[in-house]
Amino acid sequence: TPKPLLTISGNKHFVSGIAYLPGEERLVTCSHSHGTVRIWNVENGEQEGIEMEMEHGGGVEGLAITKDGKRMLSGGKHKLLRVWDLETHQPIAEWRGHETTISCIATSPDDQLVASGDYKGRIIIREMNLEESQGGRIKHTIETGPRNVNSICFSPDGTKLAFGHGDRMMQVFDVENGDLILGPIEAHTDWLTSVVWSLDGTRLITASWDESIRFWDSETGKEIGDPLTGHTDYVYSISLSPDGTKLASASSDKTVRFWATNSGEPIGEPLQHERGVLAITFSPSEERLVTCSSDKTVRVWNVENGEQEGMAMEHDDWVDGFAITRDGKRILSGGKDKVLRVWDVETHRPIAEWGGHESLIGCIATSPDDQLVASGDHKGRIIIREMNLKDSEDGRIKHAIETGPRTVNSVCFSPDGTKLASGHDDKMIRVFDVENGDLILGPIKGHTGWVFSVVWSPDGTRLFTASTDGSIRFWDSETGKAIGDPLTGHTDFVNSITLSPDGTKLASASHDSTIRFWGTDSGDPIGEPLEHEG
């Protein structure tokens, strides 16, 4: 069985779209749940800097790259079609017209047009000349019915647009006048998920939840040959090799299969994922295949020899907790697999794995001198460990503290490293002595919702906390008494707070789609909130 050349596992939520950039050196992925678009270096699996993470106001489902590799288009739950400059990573246009989630995007062969489909059957074809003021002008708005448009694809000569629909139908439109010229064809017995053209434009190839792949005459709409079968669950995506001779198919049966486009015969052995495979694409040279899966990984495969290159930073399941040592040399991560892993930032190799938790690890923090690490889980256990990686006793548990059955959402060492504060689902704040593990303050009751985030003031005299009750509170770190009134202004959960390096300002991020700033001395709001769309 072929093995992955590279596994990229930086997406916390499952990956819903994928595309190569020209030159094959970079790869773009989008996340269905997390609302991000990321750019990756294919050789080493690294994300190209944190600034490459382009945040959307909701899940991203549609993704396309212009043929010249200069622009990226993305769309999703926010209903906007966004255009990005791939050099600067800045949005350069936002186009409206959809009234629900954008599910698929395609560019014409000459990059002059872009088509997008949504969850209510609307397809919009636009002009995409960004040098003119009319860039993004709608050429056609086509209403195809109330069901999802799952896939769209321009013909090789750019004159036709094919799409696959949630009502099992396939249709083809004339790009110039927007008229329906073929179909609706009842192509499958379940949702049609993916449609591509043959290189000469004479055939259409479709995939479906009915577990089959079918070939069609693009002029008559008649089926060619028998359906390709072999998958045992939904087929989500198909991709044609650049020379048009091979077809790859991705399925929720955890496999990728290859087919000869002339004969329909299977080629070689299936590639195996640990979970369902959602999207797939050939590299321009045909030497590599890229897949993405609900296992939160993007994998690069050498189809010919099956050799794997290097190591991936991969967990057995979701990663919820994350920390970086102060010297920037190590990453610590933990999640659903209950294991705390230490990674070398330079080599990307795991250098330690530590057990001790019996539930999902939700938060991690390192001490100011990088000698200790604390981790909290969903059953109320906090573990403090020694972290001298040159010592045989590395990872030795210093304290395992049972705080109760509720989730530990946040842990934070005091600036001098002698205390550890924690925030919990039981609405409480606790402070422990790092040396002996004793509870020295609390439980402090004040919030009326879960405590999501806790940080210390730079001088260690105060604690700042944020909660699902929508408030931020200041506390005396010696007595546990509240200082002043709660800071209010957010209209939903406050998910996270962070302190400016000089300690004078606090930033808070909320489920109400805003970021607010506060003076830490007065508690007064500073300036206007920053608005997100989701």
Is residue 49 very low, low, confident or very high in pLDDT (cuts 50, 70, 90)? very low
What the chain holds in terms of domains, given with CATH numbers, is: 14-223 (2.130.10.10), 230-309 (2.40.10.500), 319-531 (2.130.10.10)
For 363-389, how does the pLDDT look when each residue is reduced to its tens digit (9 = 90+)? 889 999 889 999 999 889 999 999 875
Dist CA 56 CA 35 (whole Å): 5
Classify the C-alpha dihedral 225-226-231-234 as positive or negative: positive
What pLDDT does residue 243 have?
81
Q: Measure the CA–CA gap between 64 and 144, rounded to whole angstroms.
A: 22
Looking only at Cα atoms, what is the longest distance across the chain?
A: 80
Question: Could you tell me where the DSSP H helices lie in 370-514?
Answer: none
Give pLDDT tens digits for 208-256: 989 999 999 999 999 999 999 999 888 888 888 878 888 888 787 877 7
How confident is residue 58, by pLDDT bands cut at 50, 70 and 90?
very low
List the one residue out of 196, 193, 197 whose CA is nearest residue 207. 193
Query: At 531, phi and psi to the nearest 5?
Result: -105, 130
Q: How many C-beta atoms surround the C-beta of residue 502 within 10 A?
A: 8
Q: Tell me: the pLDDT tens digits for 9-47?
A: 444 444 445 554 555 455 555 544 444 556 666 566 566
| CA pair distance 39, 65, nearest whole angstrom | 12
What does the pLDDT look like over 247-295, one tens digit per residue?
888 787 877 788 899 999 998 777 766 665 555 555 545 565 545 444 5
C-beta of residue 307 within 8 angstroms of C-beta of residue 281? no
CA-CA distance, 194 to 304, in Å (whole number)?
Answer: 25
Number of other CB atoms surrounding residue 101 within 10 Å: 19
Between 243 and 421, the more confident residue is: 421
What span, in angstroms and rounded, lies between the C-alpha atoms of 187 and 284? 29
DSSP H or E segment with residue 485: strand 482-487
In this structure, the chain runs to a length of 534
Cα–Cα distance list, 456 to 420, 486, 511 (Å): 10, 16, 23
| Contacts (Cβ under 8 Å, ≥6 apart) of 419 | 413, 431, 432, 433, 434, 440, 460, 477
CA–CA separation, 232 vs 215, rounded Å? 19
24 contacts 13 by C-beta, under 8 angstroms: no
- For residues 19, 20, 26, 29, the Cα torsion angle rounded to the nearest 10 degrees is 10
Quickly count: other Cβ atoms within 10 Å of residue 393's Cβ.
Answer: 7
With helix as H, strand as E and coil as C, how does 294-335 read?
CCCCEEEEECCCCCCCCCCCCCCCCEEEEEECCCCCEEEEEE
Per-residue model confidence (pLDDT) at position 464: 96
Instruction: Label residue 394 exposed, middle or buried (CB < 10 Å: 0-12, 13-18, 19+).
Output: middle
- Give the up-direction half-sphere exposure of residue 92: CA atoms within 13 A in the CB hemisphere: 19
Whether 111 and 65 have beta carbons less than 8 Å apart is answered as no
DSSP single-letter state for residue 406:
S
494: its two tokens: 């406050």
Centre a 10 Å sphere on the Cβ of residue 24 and count the other Cβ atoms it contains.
16
Listing DSSP states for 376-391 in one string gives EETTSEEEEEE--TTS
Band of pLDDT at residue 8, cut at 50, 70 and 90: very low
Q: Report how far Cα 312 is from the mean position of its chain's Cα atoms.
A: 17
Structure tokens belonging to residue 421: 């504060």
Residue type, 445: K
128-142 pLDDT, tens per residue?
Answer: 876 654 578 999 999
Q: In what order do the strands lie in the sheet with 169-174?
A: 149-154, 160-165, 169-174, 180-186
Query: What is the rounded distance in angstroms from the CA atom of residue 202 to the CA atom of residue 87?
Result: 36
CA distances to 12, 78, 332, 374 from 276, rounded to whole Å, are 16, 26, 27, 34
- Render 282-296 in DSSP notation, one character per residue: E-TTSSEEEEEETTS
Which pLDDT tens digit goes with each residue over 75-99?
A: 877 788 888 877 776 788 889 999 8
Burial class of residue 188 (count of CB atoms within 10 Å of its CB; 0-12, 13-18, 19+): buried
What's the predicted TM-score (pTM) here? 0.53
Mean pLDDT score of the chain: 80
DSSP state of 529: P
C-alpha separations of 381 from 205, 249, 362, 365, 444 in Å: 53, 44, 10, 14, 18
Is the predicted pLDDT of residue 174 greater than 90, yes or no? yes
pLDDT value of residue 499:
82
